[in-house]
Amino acid sequence: MELLLKKIRIKEDGENDIKLTVKAAGEKEIFGGLFYWLSSLAKNTKNKKKMSLHFTADSLENLAVKIVNEVIYLYDYKKIWPLKTKIKLENKKNIFILKAEINAAKNAEIKRQLKAASYHGLCFKKERNGFVLKIVIDI
């Protein structure tokens, strides 16, 4: 997947959360940016594994929360962290489906422990020059 990001901005609010803003030309690129940011947290990437993930949600906001929380779950219970991701995004009757083909690090280490994505401050909207995702992640 070619990633055409305008900007990824990370703002940390004290020691309790990360306020992540992703701006991109399209909806698919927003999720590519989200996976890109997640991959940037990996430290130990020697052992690699290919895997597929499938997400469905009734809104783009809920899809973003599901993705972050699933990545956190995979790390907490299997020590797997995404490195490179190829995604496909579909909208079928207002049900959003994201399929991700992932090259992941097994026995990974990450730079910062994440707890969960929050619905507080969650926003996915179209702007004049593209789309914006704002998501808060508890640390």
Q: Which CATH code fits 5-138? A: 3.55.10.10
Tell me the mean pLDDT per 10 residues along the chain, length 139: 50 74 89 91 85 97 97 94 94 96 91 92 92 92
pLDDT at 8: 61
Distance CA(105)–CA(85), nearest Å, equals 12
Backbone CA torsion sign across 41, 1, 119, 70:
negative
pLDDT at 6: 54
Q: How far is CA 66 from CA 28, 34, 127, in A?
A: 15, 12, 23
Query: What are the structure tokens assigned to 65, written together?
Result: 């929360």
β-pairing, 17-24 vs 47-57, is unpaired
